[in-house]
Amino acid sequence: MTPSTQRLGRLALTIALALYGAWCVATPDQFRFLDGLDLPIHETGHLVFAWGGEVITALGGTLFQLIVPILFVFYFWRRGDRHAATVPLWWVGQNCWNIARYVADARAMDLPLVGGGEHDWNFLLGVWGVLPKDTLIARDIRAIGTLIVATSVCVGLWVLSTSKPAAIVAADDC
């Protein structure tokens, strides 16, 4: 693949992520493709953090939803592929939107749960004594997600505009 083709593909991906992110912001309650990927990661997090007692186990699903894409950010960053690192960074922001939806549902408990289990955020916010603030907390998490998504897109565009085409190809050859 030529450097200019590579750059064009990465630019198209970054623009697609920006547009998809805008659609996600405009329609926050819709189920999307990535939600189908995030859910099993979330559920696996409960198993991974089961060693920590009730609170850590309940929080583990959300933690794992953030840890998995962050690991990819670090992986690509260490490889020197800064643009590739912006893609899982975008995923971190998207996960924040997903988490915000779950937190906002803490009192209402309207979302269908896997296996009909306990609502993580109803339990957690109850334990922490902030259950009445579920929608305010969710608003802040959503804002953080939006900031992360916007940052990932801006950094992705900046990396593409400032890097030499050969540097992008060299990073892919690692």
* pLDDT tens digits, one per residue of 119-172: 999 999 999 999 999 999 999 999 999 999 999 999 999 999 998 765 554 555
Give the number of other Cβ atoms within 10 Å of residue 19's Cβ: 11
pTM assigned to the model: 0.90
Collapsing DSSP states into helix, strand and coil, what is residue 109?
Answer: coil
| Whether the Cβ atoms of residue 57 and residue 46 lie closer than 8 Å to each other | yes
